[in-house]
Amino acid sequence: MRRVSVAEARQKFRALLDEVARGGEIAVLRRGKEVARIVPPGSSARRLPSLATFRRAIKIKGEPMSATVIRMRREERF
């Protein structure tokens, strides 16, 4: 993987995109630390799961929030 500074990436952006199109990967550095990575589409880069998958993975426990609010309001009256 090639590493370039932000300034170099600005100056040579088109050449970097051509390199990525050929299958390369570019790490963009700011003050020596990686802040971005340019990779070809469909690469094995880290991807987040879909939002639908994430929502299905959430298990809700206890009573609904609306029921909790109503119950607490009733308890405060007396």
Residue-wise pLDDT for 35-50, tens only, equals 999 999 876 656 777 8
Domain 2-41+48-77 has CATH 3.40.50.1000: no
pLDDT of residue 76: 86
Q: What tokens appear for 19 in the block?
A: 């390199």
Phi, psi values for residue 38, rounded to 5° = -105, 120
CA distance 65 to 51: 22
| Residuewise pLDDT in 10s, the chain (78 residues) | 899 999 999 999 999 999 999 989 999 999 999 999 999 987 665 677 789 988 888 888 889 999 999 999 998 875
Q: What tokens appear for 65 in the block?
A: 């929030």
Domain ranges for the chain, please list them: 2-41+48-77
DSSP for 30-53, written as a single string? ETTEEEEEE--TT-S---PPPHHH
pLDDT of residue 46: 67
pLDDT of residue 45: 58
Q: Would you give the distance in Å from CA 55 to the centre of its chain?
A: 16
